[in-house]
């Protein structure tokens, strides 16, 4: 069915713009008239235009979703109708995919569908935790408070991720620079030394031949080198998406000093804060745990929360189930939740646990650069030493024969 971009006016003279499906313009005018609007103009959206737009679609970042949620909560609090709020926020985003999603949700809401059900149509933008909390807000008549809870939870998650990313920038830049310099040496320096060795007829050791062969391959078959590198990266990405691959990688990460503490801290903070937000919004604890298990990235944390949900469903207390996972969750995590269960303040205690875990991660990320620096220096030293020995050894051997 064709889709039309339309401009209409209400009986009070208010201008309304949007997108809607209709068999033709007459049918569109009839649909709008039933809603109390008079059609002014309509333009059919051609299929070709959709294809052109699809190339500009990109992933909706957490920052964009945070901006939307924060402003959406403000508009709901001030009494702005949902369709109008969605239209305004859609016009403000530069992400075409997000804009399309918001306009689609707006159309569904205008047709009488619940906001949560409309958001459910876009699971990669609005995950289960998002539309479930919105659903609770709709049912309880407390949508404004639920959106504010969501906004706060997303803001803290965003801040935590930015801290971790910021701490990893320094080592990442150093490693990329080291690899770049290494490739330049192979392309520009090694071929000249190789030519000198050939002219002198020096017998080359294995390490020197290995460096020269690598340089020749990159210089002559650089396109194959790029294909191999891209292929390896693609293969690693595919392996990490498999159950065994993600389990192996996530387990390996949990064994690396400092990195392990950061991963445990971020997952613990996310679990505590999200569970607190869900319980505050009125989502049952079993459903909350199932939602969190789908949202967590680390395989071992996902497994722990999923199994905890099954045990809680059977009547076991959450604190008791979490004691079985003291290797990934701190011991105090289960003990504090037990206090919350006894006092009826589980949500508040989870919020405090999230604050504590985030402060621990912040302290770790501050020291990450200084802790990783010696390791990076050892790696750089080993690489430079290997290259120097490989290229100087033949010259040294030649000088000994003189």
Residue 11 belongs to domain spanning: 3-54
**Do 242 and 305 share a domain, yes or no?**
yes
What integer pLDDT is reported at residue 230 of this predicted model?
Answer: 92
Residues 332 and 208 in one domain: yes
Average pLDDT over residues 241-247: 85
Q: Is the pLDDT of residue 239 over 60?
A: yes
198: CATH: 1.20.81.30
Q: Tell whether 310 and 389 lie within a shared domain.
A: yes
Which of these three, 21, 36, 54, is where a domain ends? 54
8 Å CB contact between 97 and 58: yes
User: Among candidates 337, 345, 344, 343, which has minimal Cα distance to 321?
Assistant: 337
**What integer best gives the mean pLDDT of the chain?**
82
pLDDT surpasses 50 at 48: no
pLDDT digits over 91-138, tens only?
988 888 899 999 999 998 888 888 988 988 888 888 888 888 888 888
Alpha carbons 323 and 329: distance in angstroms, whole number: 8
Burial of 286 (0-12, 13-18, 19+ CB in 10 A): middle
Q: What pLDDT, in 10s, does the model give residues 277-332?
A: 888 877 888 888 988 888 888 889 999 999 999 999 988 898 889 888 888 888 88
**In this predicted model, what pLDDT tens digit does every residue of 338-384 receive, in sequence order?**
998 888 888 889 888 888 888 888 888 877 767 777 888 888 888 88
- Residue 167 reports pLDDT greater than 50: yes
Distance from C-alpha of 63 to C-alpha of 98, rounded to nearest angstrom: 12
Residues 34 and 65: beta-carbon distance below 8 Å:
no
Q: Does 199 have pLDDT greater than 80? A: no
What is the spatial distance between Cα 318 and Cα 316, in angstroms, rounded to a whole number? 6
Tokens representing 273 are 């804060």
Per-residue confidence band for 45, with pLDDT thresholds at 50, 70 and 90: low
Q: What is the pLDDT of residue 103?
A: 92
User: Are 42 and 31 contacting, i.e. CB atoms less than 8 angstroms apart?
Assistant: no
- Given a cut of 50, whether residue 49 has pLDDT beyond it is no
82 shares its domain with 219? no
Give the mean pLDDT of 239-252: 86
For residue 227, what pLDDT is reported? Answer: 92
Looking at the structure, do residues 25 and 113 belong to the same domain, yes or no?
no
One domain for residues 325 and 229: yes
Looking at the fold, whether 191 and 211 belong to one and the same domain comes out as yes
Largest distance between two CA atoms of the chain? 102
The residues with which 5 forms a beta bridge, in sequence order, are: 19, 43
Pick from 112, 136, 153: which residue ends a domain? Answer: 153
Q: Residue 213: count other Cβ atoms within 10 Å of its Cβ.
A: 12
The answer, yes or no, to whether residue 11 has pLDDT greater than 70, is no
pLDDT the model gives residue 105: 92
CA 247 to chain centre: 18
Judgement on whether residues 217 and 249 belong to the same structural domain of the protein:
yes
147 with 172, same domain? Answer: no
pTM: 0.67
Count the alpha carbons within 13 Å of 76 in the hemisphere toward its beta carbon: 20
Provide the number of structural domains found in the chain. 3
- The yes-or-no verdict on residue 54 having pLDDT over 60 is no
Residue 219: pLDDT above 80? yes
194 and 314: one domain? yes
Q: Tell me what pLDDT residue 401 has.
A: 61
Q: What is the mean pLDDT of residues 140-169?
A: 82
**348 shares a domain with 260:** yes
315 & 240 share domain: yes
């Amino acid at each position: 069915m064709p889709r039309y971009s339309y401009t209409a006016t209400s009986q009070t003279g208010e201008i309304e713009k949007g997108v809607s499906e209709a068999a033709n313009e007459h049918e569109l005018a009839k649909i709008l008239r039933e809603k109390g609007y008079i059609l002014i103009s309509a333009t059919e959206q051609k299929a070709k235009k959709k294809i052109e737009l699809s190339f500009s679609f990109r992933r909706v970042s957490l920052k964009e979703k945070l901006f939307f949620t924060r402003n959406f909560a403000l508009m709901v609090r001030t009494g702005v109708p949902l369709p109008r709020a969605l239209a305004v926020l859609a016009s403000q985003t530069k992400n075409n995919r997000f804009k399309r999603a918001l306009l689609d949700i707006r159309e569904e809401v205008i047709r009488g569908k619940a906001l949560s059900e409309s958001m459910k149509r876009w699971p990669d933008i609005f995950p289960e935790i998002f539309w479930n909390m919105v659903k609770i807000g709709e049912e309880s008549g407390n949508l404004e408070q639920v959106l504010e809870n969501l906004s706060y939870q997303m803001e803290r998650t965003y801040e935590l991720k930015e801290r971790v990313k910021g701490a990893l920038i320094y080592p990442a830049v150093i490693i990329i620079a080291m690899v770049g310099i290494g490739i330049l040496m192979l392309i520009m320096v090694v071929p000249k030394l190789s030519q000198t060795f050939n002219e002198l007829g020096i017998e080359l050791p294995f390490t020197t031949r290995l460096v020269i062969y690598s340089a020749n391959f990159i210089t002559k078959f650089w396109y194959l080198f790029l294909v191999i590198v891209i292929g390896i990266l693609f293969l690693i990405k595919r392996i990490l998406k498999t159950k065994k691959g993600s389990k192996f990688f996530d387990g390996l990460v949990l064994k690396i000093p400092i990195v392990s503490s950061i991963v445990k801290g971020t997952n613990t903070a996310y679990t505590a804060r999200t569970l607190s937000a869900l319980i505050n919004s009125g989502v049952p604890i079993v459903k909350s745990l199932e939602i969190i298990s789908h949202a967590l990235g680390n395989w071992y944390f996902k497994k722990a929360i999923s199994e905890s949900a099954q045990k809680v469903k059977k009547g076991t207390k959450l604190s008791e189930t979490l004691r079985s996972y003291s290797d990934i969750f701190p011991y105090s995590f289960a003990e504090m939740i037990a206090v919350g269960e006894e006092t009826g303040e589980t949500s508040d205690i989870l919020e405090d646990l999230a604050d504590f875990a985030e402060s621990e991660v912040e302290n770790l990320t501050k020291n990450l650069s200084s802790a990783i620096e010696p390791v990076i220096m050892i790696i750089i030293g080993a690489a430079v030493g290997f290259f120097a020995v490989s290229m100087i050894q033949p010259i040294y051997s030649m000088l000994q024969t003189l």
